[in-house]
Chain A
Amino acid sequence: EVQLVESGGGLVKPGGSLRLSCAASGFTFISAWMGWVRQAPGKGLEWVGRIRGKMDGETTEYAAPVKGRFTISRDDSKNTVHLQMDSLKIEDTAVYYCTFEKVLIDSWGQGTLVTVSS
């Protein structure tokens, strides 16, 4: 059974940084494409970005609103994917969900809340 467990959420000031982690199990992580999706309060789901598996070069893609500020990385030895968020803005406040891709998005974590506020 696929399990994705996010951690690292919390309160941060505008301009600050935060690093989210997602511990994965139940599938072959090294080849898996992993991603992040967020949902701001009262808003719809928004794709953040993804990282491909080792055989696909571990390349990354990002949504326009976060490109240049967010970085997705992975540690295949720990079956973990990270979302490094820098230069945070108030509008980045959201629940962040870790995702596993097979045919589009296959599985989701339960999310971790990030609040950007002064």
Chain B
Amino acid sequence: QSVLTQPPSASATPGQRVTISCSGSSSNIGRNIVNWYQWRPGTAPKLLIYSNDQWPSGVPDRFSGSKSGTSASLAISGLQSEDEADYFCVTWDDSLNGYVFGTGTKVTAL
């Protein structure tokens, strides 16, 4: 049921950069802002990026977001072992009149 497509996995060695894509359509990402979340097992999802490229208080600027057309991206610079988690995107869909979610990407530090 996930409307937004993400790669199932992404990895990099510690210190390197990893990028995660979130592909949508004109009715969702193409018209609305995107948030990104980090989700570790047994915990609640944590807001990492809001409104495409903004940082909530307390989130390190190693995490950055961007949006272009019907796609969005999350980049993690200087990957750390503690960054190992699932990451997903969220936006509003004007056709479905509801939130839609990414399929989720598992990030691994090699």
Contact = CB atoms under 8 A, between A and B. Distances in A.
Contacts of A41: none
Contacts of A37: 99, 101
Contacts of B88: 45
Nearest to A111: B44
B44 A107 contact: yes
Contacts of A111: 44
Interface residues of B, number: 27
Given A108-B45, A110-B43, A47 B33 contact: no
B91 to A, nearest CB: 7
Interface in B3-37: 33-35, 37
B104 A44 contact: yes
Contacts of A46: 1, 101
A45 B2 contact: yes
B2 A63 contact: no
B90 interface: yes
Interface of A: 4, 35, 37, 43-47, 49, 61, 63-64, 97, 102-111
